[in-house]
Structure 1
Amino acid sequence: MPRKRKGADLSRSTSKARNLRNSRSERTEEQIQQQNTDARVRMAQLHQEEPEDTRAERNEVRRLEQRQSRRFTVSRRRTNDQQRQQVHRAFISDSFLRLAFQYEPDIEYYAHSKVVIGAIDKECPHCHALKFKNEPAGMCCASDKEQLPEIETPLEPLNGLLIGTDPDSNVFLKRIVSELDALLNEHNELLKIFKSHMHLIKHQLESIFVDSMHPLLMMLLESWLAIVQLHEKL
């Protein structure tokens, strides 16, 4: 007799499973409840007909599995608690070495006596900049050694165009944004050209000789000059 092909068996099995899924999806709520009730009754009958030693063995296996699961859970919780305690001890100690690599969200780091953030309400006596309470002196203006020039108010009509009092202010500001956008796009295109030329020179480096008139070198110089001119405009 010819052997049955596995493909045919798989096809029938798949068709059977599909039919079973379709029949289950077409059940009504009453049918589902009735089938569940029948299943519980059959399971109860099986348990009653099961030998006592088999039932005891199954219950023992279940108790062992539950005990092992609880033991694993307790061990994992104990390990997490130990790690959290270690981090907390390191936090309350004088050393903060590598404490950022052991961050725990449950620990209130801001409550530590050495962690003082506060508000930015202290004024620098030199430049009048607002600072934190314990911020080192000279962080803002190097103790009045660095002084920024005062920003002068632009003349009219530029001042009105910038602050929005001029009727043409919106058009003026939109024009600035569009010009900057075009300038950035041009800058990106020049960078792409420069990278492509550098990539070409990298692959043909062995064939390039020291010649100021070599076409690849000329292309590189042109790209470089264009980028320099663009940065001068910025």
Structure 2
Amino acid sequence: MTVLAYHLTGYRRTWRAGVFSSFLLPTLTVLGFGLGVGGYVDQGVNGVPYLEWIVPGLLASTALQVAIAESTFPVFANFQWTRSYTAQNAAPLRVGDIVAGHLAFVLFRAVTASAAFLLVTTLLGAVASAWAVLTLPVVALLALAVAAPTFGYAAAVSSDSWLAMLFRFAVIPTTLFAGVFFPVESLPGGLRHLAYATPLWHAVDLCRAAMLGAPPQWSVPGHLLYLAAWAVGGWALAVRRFRRRLVV
């Protein structure tokens, strides 16, 4: 809780800088794709208007992008530039406390950005079901599933160039091909299975089911267990990498 309070204190002074990337940009994407491109998709997707179909995917991708953004350069900076983790490690804190406190802040950022996005899209009339509120625990689990292993990755790399490569070769392709903008079933077989392997697709399927009031393509327990496996594995990796860097 002390580590979380430290990050919240810093965020209280810098939150305005993240409004565009975590809130306004996704909203503009909804207007551009949902209303602009959606106006040319006469039949919608599987009988669902394109605006209502795309919003759940954009909600999940917003949570993913906020979680990744908060888990790459901030983590790397705390090791390499500001040395904040070193200072925290010198206090009566365990490595697990440092990781858990920072991850809790990442979850706070992802969930609050997603909640604001959900509120705006509801006001725009793009949410068809009251079950949409269940998307918030889903995006929280997605944020943990992607942030925890990214913590481990950011703690292991020696240059911030590796972080840019993560965005270029993992985050952007995942956002484009994990069912956010078009059905995964329209992809070739090999790419389709890669999309199914991403945590984002599982969150998109759950969010779309909740917001449309329809059953998901895959089982709900299967989705949740898959995301939980990423979160648990990522937690173990992050703690191991942090301990290797901080404990001599």
TM-score calculated relative to the size of structure 1? 0.19
Larger Rg: 1
Structure with more of its chain in helix, by fraction:
2
